[in-house]
Amino acid sequence: MKAAVLYEPGQPLVVEDIELDPPKAGEVHVKIGAAGICRSDLHVMKGEAAHLLPAVLGHEGSGTVLDVGQGVTRVKPGDRVILSFVPYCGHCHFCLTNRANLCDQHMSTPGTLFDKTTRLHKGNRRIHHYGKVACFAQEAVVPETGCIPVASDFPFPQAALIGCCVTTGVGAAIYNAKITPGSTVAVIGCGGVGLNVIQGARLQNAGKIIAVDVNEGKLEFAMRFGATHTVNPTLRDPVAAIKELTGGLGADYTFEVFGSSQTVQTAYLAARKGGTIVVVGLAPTGDNAAIDPVMLVRQEKTLKGSYYGSARPVVDMPVMVQLYQAGKIDIDGLITRTYRLDQINQAYKDIDGGDVGRGVITQF
Ligand code: NAD
Ligand code: ZN
């Protein structure tokens, strides 16, 4: 089957034929229907995040079940599924305490399936699976617990986006921050994930939603998803601008959704006394933010991370499906460009070049 393989950071993905072995017990063979262009894959491509290579990237995906391994009961051939990049083991401390997005078994087996082997290879050379999804390919073998069934007529691109940016962004607003009605919110970075934080804030009836981005096109686009104000940090100091828009206090909630020490610091400083800073972006390895601990104490700020929207994928992705079907969140409007798998390097140039919304691979 065809897949886009990353051999070395800094090099383009190679779209080529590689082999995919059949699913083992507890695994599912999926024909990919759509795969979203998320910045997390780009961090690996650029070497900003370490990963075992070579690897098939892609963690925002959906598809159709072709075949199931022994013991699989959750899905059957023909089912349409959203793929979760944090499948769960069901036995570790985090799975048992309602935080399956932090599953230990998953996090201790990076680049492989749960049994520490790969189904992907080229001849004798092992190829790793990013997030146990690896959907920049025609097909994938994934754990059963990484499959979330959806109706057979639910569109693949929208399903794929629920697989990452929608759940990550909306979840950060509703499950992690639990934004309260009327509160002030600043979202720093308005790409695929940030736009979903914005619509999550709107869903929670936030009072003011301040979109912060270096790209004017993204700021205009953010207004369609619920932003009430915009700030371009290339034109003015974002901390001062957010304070000015919040009566001098700072925002009740700030979200960092780009991935850098600098934007984490902006989010930290722009939160009011007693405010909450939620870090969603993944900064490059070693790019540590300097946080004044005295300010943390004396201003009683809360600094927290949010992984996968602090959602439990199997339980909460169907909630995202319902919110979309009820017209409470917009996913159609997020999808601004579609690509073929062999155009993937262009798709990543476009995300870095400031394209608005989300690109999605729809032809494999
Ligand atoms: P994206 O590239 O679509 O969006 C990033 C946005 O940040 C862009 O609009 C860009 O213009 C803007 N930006 C760049 N520099 C900025 C600055 N100095 N100030 C304000 N805005 C700035 O990326 P994405 O796919 O939305 O992902 C965003 C981040 O979230 C990435 O780091 C990604 O790896 C991470 N992520 C985290 C999770 C999680 O579970 N926490 C899940 C998915 C993605
Ligand atoms: Zn993602």
2-163+330-363 and 168-307 agree in CATH topology: no
Which ligand lies nearest to the CA atom of residue 86 in the structure?
A: 1
How far apart (Å, rounded) are the C-alpha atoms in residues 163 and 311? 11
Tell me whether the omega of the peptide bond preceding residue 77 falls within 30 degrees of 0, making it cis. no
Cβ of 37 closer than 6 Å to ligand 1, yes or no, is no
In this structure, CATH architecture of domain 168-307: 3-Layer(aba) Sandwich (3.40)
CB 106 within 8 A of CB 129: no
Which ligand lies nearest to the CA atom of residue 260 in the structure?
A: 1
CATH number of 2-163+330-363: 3.90.180.10
How far apart (Å, rounded) are the C-alpha atoms in residues 121 and 141? 12
Q: Which residue out of 92, 164, 165, 190 is catalytically annotated?
A: 164
Q: Would you give the distance in Å from CA 362 to the centre of its chain?
A: 18
Give the residue extent of every domain in the chain: 2-163+330-363, 168-307
CB 135 within 8 A of CB 41: no
List Cβ<8 Å contacts ≥24 apart for 99-105.
99/310, 99/312, 100/312, 100/313, 100/314, 101/307, 101/308, 101/309, 101/310, 101/311, 101/312, 101/313, 102/307
| Cα 168 to averaged position of ligand 2 atoms, centre (Å) | 8
Beta bridge partners of 210: 186, 229
301 is written with which tokens?
């700020």
Q: Are strands 61-68 and 14-17 parallel, antiparallel or unpaired?
A: unpaired
| Cα 171 to averaged position of ligand 2 atoms, centre (Å) | 13
Tell me if residue 280 falls in helix, strand or coil. coil
pLDDT tens, the chain, 364 aa long: 999 999 999 999 999 999 999 999 999 999 999 999 999 999 999 999 999 999 999 999 999 999 999 999 999 999 999 999 999 999 999 999 999 999 999 999 999 999 999 999 999 999 999 999 999 999 999 999 999 999 999 999 999 999 999 999 999 999 999 999 999 999 999 999 999 999 999 999 999 999 999 999 999 999 999 999 999 999 999 999 999 999 999 999 999 999 999 999 999 999 999 999 999 999 999 999 999 999 999 999 999 999 999 999 999 999 999 999 999 999 999 999 999 999 999 999 999 998 999 999 999 9
How far apart (Å, rounded) are the C-alpha atoms in residues 179 and 18? 45
Cβ of 212 closer than 6 Å to ligand 1, yes or no, is yes
Cβ of 188 closer than 6 Å to ligand 1, yes or no, is yes
**What is each CA distance from 297 to 82, 242, 303, in whole angstroms?**
41, 21, 11
pLDDT at res. 198: 98
